[in-house]
Amino acid sequence: MIGPVVAASSDVAVGLAVGIPVVVVAAVTGVVVRLRRRGRGPSGAPPVPAGPPSVEAAPVEAAPVEAAPSSVEVAPVEAVPVEAVPVEAATFRGRMGKARGLLAGYLGSVRSRQRIDGATWDDLEEALIRADVGVGATDAVLDDLRARVKAGSIVGVEALLDALKADLVSALSAGSSGLHLPVGHPAGRDAPAASDGDEEPAVDVWLFVGVNGVGKTTTVGKVASRLTGEGIRVMLAAGDTFRAAAGEQLELWSQRSGADIVRGTEGGDPSAVVFDAVQRAAARGHDLVLADTAGRLHNKVNLIEELKKIRRVAGRAPGRVTEVLLVLDATTGQNGLAQAKVFLDAVEVTGVVLTKLDGTAKGGIVVAIQRELGLPVKLVGLGEGPDDLVDFDPPAFVDALF
């Protein structure tokens, strides 16, 4: 595997470990690096934007991976205008009105009957399946409730619905788990034990994967906005080189969030972009790389192979992949689950980001995802703005659904 080159430094060793092709492709395709420096207040919060939009930093050719990072020009501090649009905070209850309305319609007939009979179970089954909970999860929940009604521990329709809600909350809580936040985040893990001293600190990498249009780029932008606001130094990696517009879209999120960005050329090697972002992040003391990826390539096999490679390359020291987030569009319902399985087989997914739960989504898909995929839903998208992303909260979610 390793060529006949003597590794003289850890950087070179990294280059070899990743494979010469990455370095060569980065150099040949010309990975474009744009770094923006922003001042931070003592709290680590992004600076207050002022003045007109500044001129874009001129793209500079990335040096080969082995080169000293000081060869990259750093643009001066750039002021970014932020539109002050007052918006109501994203909450499950506030944004899931449509899903709630739909379920309420079905539950209305259950409530109207006052007693639990055969029709009650039929209505409940229909309500849950229509809400996208899925057949397997619906059967499991109803079997449990039937047994408890038979045993006399649930009496009456209202008690039955309360028990259903409690069952859903506990089913959703069982598999739930939060994000693996980087060291340095107020709620993050403790710093690892001190090493011998000359080792480069690790850079956490979160990969965002999923089919086209589900909301990967938007989610990367929202996560960047949130974490930069919490004092984390974030580097974005524009790993969707399939379309030029994808890089531009992420560039806008970089400006909005105050995160730096590494972009590649259209058609370039996405692994090289992610690799370069990790190198830059390490050299400049960033805590976290958020890597966007393409949702489509010429065919599905290419896409999956590409993702495997990105994951491998991103995990080479100093990079370490701490989250692989599968982004799913809640409005695609059960179809989204079938797509998801392809990704699970290819990359070790650590959690799901469920987007567009504010729209026409029926909500119950969350239950199906945790049950069918065995993956925690970690984040939920409730709109298109930077603040429209919330941690998944089972009680608040179930409360909003009913």
Ligand X SMILES: Nc1nc2c(ncn2[C@@H]2O[C@H](COP(=O)(O)OP(=O)(O)OP(=O)(O)O)[C@@H](O)[C@H]2O)c(=O)[nH]1
- The footprint of ligand X (CB under 6 A) covers 210, 212-218, 240, 246, 295, 355-356, 358-359, 381-384, 388
Residues that bind Mg ion (CB under 5 A): 216-217, 246
Distance of closest approach, residue 292 Cβ to ligand X, in angstroms: 7
Distance of closest approach, residue 207 Cβ to ligand X, in angstroms: 13
- Residue 14 or 246: the one with the smaller Cβ distance to ligand X is 246
Q: What are the tokens at 162?
A: 């309360």
Crossing angle (nearest 10°) for helices 10-18 and 20-29: 90
- Residue 138 or 217: the one with the smaller Cβ distance to ligand X is 217
- Residue 46 or 215: the one with the smaller Cβ distance to ligand X is 215
Name which of ligand X, Mg ion, none residue 319 binds, using a CB cut-off of 5 to 8 Å depending on partner kind: none
Distance of closest approach, residue 303 Cβ to ligand X, in angstroms: 10
Distance of closest approach, residue 323 Cβ to Mg ion, in angstroms: 17
- Residue 10 or 212: the one with the smaller Cβ distance to ligand X is 212
Name which of ligand X, Mg ion, none residue 110 binds, using a CB cut-off of 5 to 8 Å depending on partner kind: none
- Residue 19 or 210: the one with the smaller Cβ distance to ligand X is 210
DSSP code, position 229: H
Q: Give alpha helix (H) positions in 189-241.
A: 216-229
- Residue 216 or 378: the one with the smaller Cβ distance to ligand X is 216
Q: Which are the contacts of 163, defined by CB distance < 8 A and separation ≥ 6? A: 145, 148, 154
Distance of closest approach, residue 127 Cβ to ligand X, in angstroms: 24
Give buried/exposed letters for 64-87 (b at 16+ CB in 10 A, else e): ebeeebeebebbeebebeeeeeee
Give CA–CA dist 124/104, Å, rounded. 11
Distance of closest approach, residue 19 Cβ to ligand X, in angstroms: 26
Distance of closest approach, residue 238 Cβ to ligand X, in angstroms: 11
Name which of Mg ion, ligand X, none residue 34 binds, using a CB cut-off of 5 to 8 Å depending on partner kind: none
Give CA–CA dist 84/49, Å, rounded. 11
Name which of Mg ion, ligand X, none residue 212 binds, using a CB cut-off of 5 to 8 Å depending on partner kind: ligand X
- Residue 19 or 386: the one with the smaller Cβ distance to Mg ion is 386
- Residue 122 or 384: the one with the smaller Cβ distance to ligand X is 384
- Residue 120 or 241: the one with the smaller Cβ distance to ligand X is 241
Name which of ligand X, Mg ion, none residue 358 binds, using a CB cut-off of 5 to 8 Å depending on partner kind: ligand X
The count of residues in the chain is 402
Contact (Cβ atoms closer than 8 angstroms) between residue 221 and residue 381: no
Distance of closest approach, residue 225 Cβ to Mg ion, in angstroms: 16
- Residue 109 or 212: the one with the smaller Cβ distance to ligand X is 212
Give CA–CA dist 315/280, Å, rounded. 15
Name which of ligand X, Mg ion, none residue 334 binds, using a CB cut-off of 5 to 8 Å depending on partner kind: none
Q: Which are the contacts of 84, defined by CB distance < 8 A and separation ≥ 6? A: none
Q: Between the CA of residue 95 and those of 92, 103, 105, 114, 222, what are the distances in Å?
A: 5, 15, 18, 30, 17
Distance of closest approach, residue 358 Cβ to ligand X, in angstroms: 5
Contact (Cβ atoms closer than 8 angstroms) between residue 186 and residue 230: yes
Q: What is the DSSP string of 256-289?
A: HHT-EEEE--TTS-HHHHHHHHHHHHHHHT-SEE
Give CA–CA dist 333/365, Å, rounded. 6
Distance of closest approach, residue 342 Cβ to Mg ion, in angstroms: 18
Residue nearest to Mg ion (CB): 217
Give CA–CA dist 211/295, Å, rounded. 4
Give kind and range of the element (H or E) at residue 174: helix 157-174
Name which of Mg ion, ligand X, none residue 355 binds, using a CB cut-off of 5 to 8 Å depending on partner kind: ligand X
Counts of helices then strands in the chain (DSSP H, E): 14, 10
Name which of ligand X, Mg ion, none residue 268 binds, using a CB cut-off of 5 to 8 Å depending on partner kind: none
| DSSP bridge partners of 353 | 327, 379
